[in-house]
Chain A
Amino acid sequence: MKAQVLANFSMPWLTCIGLLIFFAVFCGALAWVFRKSGEPVYAKLSVLPLEEDRK
């Protein structure tokens, strides 16, 4: 049954929607990460490994 369904799969738009969702999420994440307001947080985070040595 399932094999037949998969064999007769004729909804290419479904995979296109999947592709668009993934791509949109990726672009959204990219935009979110590179927002200007994130600057100070990332600056603080990136020096965490070095804190031990600076004491």
Chain B
Amino acid sequence: MNSPAQNKTETFFYDDDVVKKFIVATIIWGLVALLLGVFIAFQLSSWRLNFNLPWLTFGRLRPLHTNAAIFAFGGNAIFAGIYHSSQRLLKTRLYSDTLSRIHFWGWQAIIVAAAITLPLGITTSKEYAELEWPIDIAITLVWVVFAVNFMGTIWRRREQHMYVAIWFYIATIITVAVLHVVNSVEIPVSFLKSYPVYAGVQDALVQWWYGHNAVAFFLTTPFLGLMYYYVPKAAGQPVYSYRLSIIHFWSLVFIYIWAGPHHLLYTALPEWAQTLGMVFSVMLIAPSWGGMINGLLTLRGAWNRVRTEPILKFFVAALTFYGMATFEGPLLSIKSVSALGHYTDWIVGHVHGGTLGWNGFLIAAMLYYLVPKVWKTELYSTRLANAHFWTGFLGIILYILSMWVAGITQGLMLRAVNAEGRLVYPDFVETVIRIVPLYWLRAIGGTLYLIGFGMLAYNLYKTIKRAPKVADEPQTAEPLKVDYTKLLEKRPHRILEALPTTFTVLTLLAVLVGSIIEIMPTLMAHNYVGTTSKAKPYKPLELMGRDIYVRESCYTCHSQMVRPIPSEVLRYGKHSKAEDSMYDYPHQWGSKRTGPDLANLGGKYPDLWHFRHMIDPREVTPKSIMPGYPWLVRDKADFRSLKKKLQVMRGMGVPYSDAEIEHAEELAREQAHKIASQLEAQGIPKGMAEREIVALIAYLQRLGKGEAQ
């Protein structure tokens, strides 16, 4: 830069203390998240590992695994990388040490709160946003602290231009804020229970707009920013094409936000929104591969070093897995492919190719680079890092191959119809038994990956332990005197890269265009829900049962959405329509069928079947892999909160009468007694009317029976 002569050089220090804290948190939470993942993988292989304990059951631990992996492991890693690289790129210390500290401890407190509430069944059941409302507020506050700290750092920068990595960080901060706030609008019923303001099809659309963009703006854009900083650092040469990185940024940010509905193909979501989501998902391959190619070609002329340097190995593998996952994603978004792959383990394989391969390996590369750098020492063992690479790599391969085979096998079995037009495998459990061996293989793959990460933890622990105690090095740079009028005169086309505010607004606009066009019509038009056949609201006892269904996170294994596909209608009955779930706060459409769809479950089996099935599923379905839920027979149902729940529901538009709300408790007890006395007549012990099991049975028997006469 042609800086004026009066500028003096300033001396300052980087804040690497908070970077170190986030690094240590990344390693610890990484171990926790992976350990949880391995544990629930073994639970799917052997139901005995659920131990008949509520807080150790798959449904409660699976959300904990995803939250720990994304927000604790991934979150701490991106904060470490963002705080480290931004200070260097902007040539300044972080804006405020206090804000940095609040950010760090606040985020760890949120993680601990998640680790306590989720196993207790305190959940909103919205995938990747399961945390209840007080924690949602805490997340918002900490995120604002992060945003202020980051923007303040930009404001105080000593480097005129913002490198492309900073753009990716800004896009992350504003988009995650928008996603989190819009998706988490909920009405509290009590301190730890709330209902979302969206129901059914609207809730599903908002949820997957959020869910997909959590992948986009929590697991992709920040990691791409880190990639654009750390890959050139590790390779010792600038990025392959800076121009390509600009195109990459804008097209990625603009297109990604539209892709959410590909999670809802063939559902009751309006057709146009499905098509829109599919088209944009397919388009997404272009910017994704542009970024991958840009990253890989940054290593031009340095490929010989990939053989010997574990950091480069991890980067190359991470970028390759990114390319693979972003090819598979658009493929799975094509409606006919989604028809086969959706709800199966293929999706699980796809997700883990992205998270273990792209995010996990990029974090490993970053940590191997960063730890020796900020602790001012050498890596303890390069051989161990290489061993980590190959162990982890083998783990990922076992994981995704087994899940591909499991998903496609089960998908084909479920749709197989013989010449007479009947299902070849009418019992769902037949298709499950077939893929259980692959579940074991997956669990072994996960274990290998965990062992690899354990090597990283040990290696970095040793590295940190032997680090010398040295004082922070002073940095020098000239202060920035931005004269915008002069800049505008001299080079008006450059102003964008120098003006963070304008840039932030433009990014926000790019993100909002897609969000508004896609979501607003569905949110505003209640008419999508057919007016001719209105649904009945849930009876008080059914609502209570529904809350138990939500508490146990049944959606992690059961969908409630029959797609209009012949084999599916043959198996599950009539296909689901928007009005079926119009009073579902939150929707329970689900995204995975480890067990069968439950949309039309009501009346299919007698109450006694459900009673025995919930205590021990294998008593009625031999070889079932579902956990038992014996505590539902022991625990007393919470009748007292029903009045408040109905009131909140009416506030959101569910047509409950005054009498229903006033007598909610009596109505529920009445229905419970009816079910319990019938069960008693069939030999079940007395006193069940007070227990949770009866409420759950009432709800399950109501599924698919919601149409008003």
Please report A residues at the B interface, Cβ cutoff 8 Å: 1-4, 6, 26, 29-30, 32-34, 38, 41-53
Among B89, B237, B493, which residue has its beta carbon within 8 angstroms of that of A32?
B493
Among A1, A29, A48, A51, which residue has its beta carbon within 8 angstroms of that of B527?
A1
A44 touches B88 (CB 8 A): no
Once the chains are docked, how many angstroms separate the CA of A47 from the CA of B243? 13
List 8 tightest A-B contacts by C-beta distance, closest first.
Answer: A3-B527, A46-B238, A42-B242, A46-B242, A48-B163, A2-B525, A49-B232, A33-B243
Cβ-Cβ contact count across A and B, 8 Å cutoff: 63
A2 touches B524 (CB 8 A): yes
**Residues of chain A lying within 8 A (CB to CB) of residue B236:** 50, 53
**Residues of chain A lying within 8 A (CB to CB) of residue B247:** 29-30, 33
B251 located at the interface, meaning its Cβ lies under 8 Å from any Cβ of chain A in the complex: yes
B487 located at the interface, meaning its Cβ lies under 8 Å from any Cβ of chain A in the complex: no
Q: How many residues of B contact A (CB 8 A)?
A: 31
Once the chains are docked, how many angstroms separate the CA of A36 from the CA of B41? 54
B180 located at the interface, meaning its Cβ lies under 8 Å from any Cβ of chain A in the complex: no
**Residues of chain A lying within 8 A (CB to CB) of residue B55:** none
B165 located at the interface, meaning its Cβ lies under 8 Å from any Cβ of chain A in the complex: yes
B527 touches A2 (CB 8 A): yes
**Which residue of A is nearest B90, CB measured?**
A48
Provided the pairs A33-B247, A34-B243, A42-B242 are in contact, do residues A48 and B159 lie with their beta carbons within 8 angstroms? yes
> Which residues 134-162 of B have a CB within 8 angstroms of A?
159, 161
Once the chains are docked, how many angstroms separate the CA of A42 from the CA of B493? 13
Provided the pairs A41-B494, A44-B161, A52-B88 are in contact, do residues A3 and B525 lie with their beta carbons within 8 angstroms? yes
**Which residue of B is nearest A34, CB measured?**
B243
Once the chains are docked, how many angstroms separate the CA of A32 from the CA of B496? 12
**Which residue of A is nearest B229, CB measured?**
A49
Q: A2-B527, A42-B243 are in contact. List 13 more A-B contacts (CB 8 A).
A: A3-B528, A33-B243, A41-B497, A45-B163, A45-B497, A48-B89, A48-B159, A49-B165, A49-B228, A49-B233, A50-B232, A50-B233, A52-B88
Once the chains are docked, how many angstroms separate the CA of A32 from the CA of B233? 28
18 contacts between A and B (CB under 8 A): A2-B521, A3-B527, A26-B251, A29-B250, A41-B161, A41-B494, A43-B242, A45-B161, A45-B242, A45-B497, A48-B161, A49-B88, A49-B163, A49-B165, A49-B232, A50-B236, A50-B238, A53-B236
Taking the closest CB of chain A, its distance from the CB of B51, in whole angstroms, is: 49
**Which residue of A is nearest B517, CB measured?**
A18
